[in-house]
């Protein structure tokens, strides 16, 4: 072999080794990043995880409950959103309640048809947004009581067989979430979305039912395009989170649910203090367990403080690396029940400025629902 050919050969070999090393390094980086708890996660879910990890490095996604279906005193106006009306952009996250689906109903507890929620999930997918699906059976109080009674007439197996009928309905909805290429649309499922769960359900029952629910959806129903969000109300310490925590194999996102109560905390100082403690606990807990932290529900009903977003909320959340925050719903049938201001509201300019902060992520794609 001539010297020139040898040189070319060694250069090619060196390039091959270099690119192999780069590929291995990328794999190592990918593995080192945040991954789904589901060991059989579909490629769509793996990609979704990496996208969420990248967004975590960029800022906090702004979310709003059921934002596309209705808003303050309006209902079912395609393309409309109170968040978009004020900020110019759709929210990056929309949280839908699936409560009611377990009974075979056609609409959820907020009167949104489940068939339309599927359409909104597709819209968010095309807008490169994130969908959270919050579910707590409407008969949750009943089954908590049933499961906790030592002298219950149902055996554990009989109870779960009854409960699994609700999971079957939830699974059917999740399995119908597909894009135009018949690939599953990855979503976040927030199980047992019941604010006062700590007050009415023993930790052991909660953990056992959570694990059985996830195992059922994964193993029985073959659902592998879902991340599971564990959210607790008003926690302030890691111990608060640990008490009900189902375990790393069953959770992907750890969230805090916290609203400001204006009647007892008119200035928002108490809310700010609790938010600081809660997010600190959630972020430390999430980092320790390699999960994504989130502010799963928050806000001030009626937005009665004109600088709530820039003066109370942002000074706290800007200190923490959280994936997303979700504001409470703007109800279509309750005039005083809203958490995002509408145009002309005293807090609308403050919300606009807040939404346009460099560390706040909105949906830039403005494709509306057809």
pLDDT digits (tens, 9 = 90+) for 199-243: 778 899 899 999 999 999 999 999 999 999 999 999 999 999 999
Structure tokens at 7: 């040189």
CA distance 135 to 185: 18
Q: What are phi and psi of 226, to 5 degrees?
A: -125, 135
CA distance 288 to 315: 24
Q: Which of 334, 343, 330, 345 is nearest to 94 (CA)?
A: 330
| Mean pLDDT in order along the chain per 10 residues (370 residues) | 47 40 35 81 97 96 98 96 97 97 94 98 96 85 52 74 93 97 97 81 91 98 98 95 97 98 97 98 97 98 98 98 98 96 98 98 64
- What pLDDT is stored for residue 200 in this prediction? 77
Over residues 127-174, the pLDDT tens digits come to 999 999 999 887 555 555 555 554 456 788 888 888 999 999 999 999
- What pLDDT is stored for residue 153 in this prediction? 64
Instruction: Report whether 280 contacts 286 (CB < 8 A).
Output: no
CA distance 222 to 7: 53
Strand pairing class (226-233; 253-260):
parallel
pTM here? 0.88
- What pLDDT is stored for residue 112 in this prediction? 98
- What pLDDT is stored for residue 21 in this prediction? 38
Region 40-363: CATH code: 3.20.20.80
CB atoms near residue 109 (< 10 Å) = 13
């Amino acid at each position: 072999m001539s010297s020139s050919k040898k040189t070319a050969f060694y250069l090619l070999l060196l390039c091959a080794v270099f690119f192999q090393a780069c590929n291995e390094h990328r794999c190592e980086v990918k593995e080192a990043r945040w991954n789904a708890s589901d060991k059989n996660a579909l490629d769509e879910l793996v990609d979704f995880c990496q996208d969420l990890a990248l967004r975590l490095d960029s800022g906090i996604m702004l979310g709003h409950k059921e934002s596309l279906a209705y808003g303050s005193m309006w209902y079912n106006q395609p393309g409309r959103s109170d968040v978009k009306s004020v900020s110019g952009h759709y929210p990056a996250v929309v949280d839908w309640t699936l409560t009611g689906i377990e009974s075979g109903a056609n609409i959820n507890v907020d009167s949104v048809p489940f068939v339309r929620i599927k359409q909104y999930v597709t819209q968010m997918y095309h807008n490169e947004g994130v969908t959270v699906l919050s579910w707590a059976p409407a008969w949750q109080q009943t089954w908590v009581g049933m499961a906790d009674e030592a002298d219950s007439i149902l055996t554990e197996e009989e109870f779960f067989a009854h409960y699994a009928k609700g999971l079957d309905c939830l699974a059917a909805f999740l399995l119908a979430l597909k894009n135009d290429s018949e690939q599953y649309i990855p979503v976040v499922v927030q199980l047992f979305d019941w604010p006062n769960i700590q007050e009415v359900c023993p930790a052991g029952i909660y953990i056992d039912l959570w694990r059985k629910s996830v195992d059922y959806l994964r193993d029985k129903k073959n659902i592998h395009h879902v991340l599971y969000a564990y959210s607790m109300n008003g926690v302030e310490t890691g111990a608060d989170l640990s008490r009900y925590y189902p375990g790393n194999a069953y959770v992907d996102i750890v969230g805090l649910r916290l609203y400001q109560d204006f009647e007892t905390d008119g200035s928002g100082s108490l809310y700010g203090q609790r938010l600081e403690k809660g997010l600190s606990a959630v972020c430390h807990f999430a980092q320790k367990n390699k999960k994504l932290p989130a502010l799963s529900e928050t806000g001030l009903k009626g937005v009665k403080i004109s600088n709530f977003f820039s003066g109370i909320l942002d000074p706290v959340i800007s200190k923490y690396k959280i994936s997303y925050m979700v504001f409470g719903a703007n109800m279509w049938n309750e005039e005083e029940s809203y958490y995002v201001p509408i145009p002309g509201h005293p807090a609308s300019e403050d919300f606009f400025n807040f939404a346009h902060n460099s560390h706040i992520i909105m949906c830039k794609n403005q494709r509306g629902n057809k």
